[in-house]
Amino acid sequence: MMKERTLFSTTFTKTFGVDHPIICGGMTAIGTADLIAAVANAGALGFLTALTLPTPEQLAKEIVRCRELTDKPFGVNLTILPTINPVPYDEYRDAIIESGVKVVETAGSNPAPHLPAFKSAGVKVIHKATTVRHAVKAEALGVDAISIDGFECAGHPGEDDVPGLVLIPAAVRQLSIPVIASGGIANGAGLVAALALGACAVNMGTRFVATHEAPIHPNIKQQIVDNDERSTVIVFREFHNSARVARNSVSEEIAAISRTPGATFDQVAHLASGQRGREQVLKNGDVEGGLWWASQAQGLIHEVASCKDVVDTIMSDAAHLVRNQLPEMI
């Protein structure tokens, strides 16, 4: 394993003090200590998801719990989105800082209001962006790295529909800070490709959902394995809030209703309920019970495994490609 660590020593691994250039990004209801500590122990960098915890005080307790499960570095994701009920983002930010966490993944809205506090506390900030122009803006604001999300990703890919093969090198060309490739990556070939395109690490979500440690029902993990690269749907496009989710009866119904002339979000809100997805899908294991996030990387995931096995396999396969398979083509 030491050879693989040396081979894939990048700006990312050196800057963030981890063994491997792999991230498990923040995932609502999934990024808990159970998963993130396992990711950290495997030598990657995982992010607890702040808003999975109902209050800043509970986030602080979850950070403590994660530290009890690992002595390796980990971070916290703070996704900033407009909500009906105001979220005390400043208090979540302060809980992160007071807990001594040294790396944060921001996503959603502009992180500028929180950067001075993070910077003064010595917290490094990785900002998730779906376009080069937003990445350039985030660099100008002072973030330390960009995680660039290609169209293949789960969650919100933006409205420009640019896949990673183009988006990653386009971002690298215009940025001077480290770039992390995100969206549709699940194996060693994806890591090697991302590095070849100029990224210094990869950010994976769906691959880590299909692990033993992910705190969700086994039915969902197995469904990811059973699904293929066509098993996603883009919803909410008509409302200018495009999201990639797993293909099931609920997501297809949402897509059909949304295409109706004059449709409004209120007509699909009951189907798109986050509470419904968490309870019926992630907790109870009903794959048709609600909306749930998944990327096109489902087509590359062929088994449920431990986080350690996922990371070790990716690194081993990547090393084999670089040392053996690619040189044979020259």
CA pair distance 36, 55, nearest whole angstrom:
19
Q: Which CATH architecture is the domain 2-216+303-329 placed in? A: Alpha-Beta Barrel (3.20)
Share of the chain above pLDDT 90, in %: 92
- Phi first, then psi, for residue 156 (nearest 5°) are -100, 105
Domain ranges of the chain: 2-216+303-329, 232-293
Strand pairing class (201-204; 22-24):
parallel
pTM flag (> 0.85): yes
pLDDT of res. 81: 85
- pLDDT band at residue 166 under the 50/70/90 scheme: very high
Distances in whole angstroms, Cα of residue 307 to Cα of each of 39, 153, 201, 253 = 6, 20, 17, 34
- pLDDT band at residue 325 under the 50/70/90 scheme: confident
What is the token pair recorded at 5? 């660590």
Strand pairing class (232-235; 179-182):
unpaired
Element (H, E) at 238: none
pLDDT of res. 61: 98
Element (H, E) at 109: none
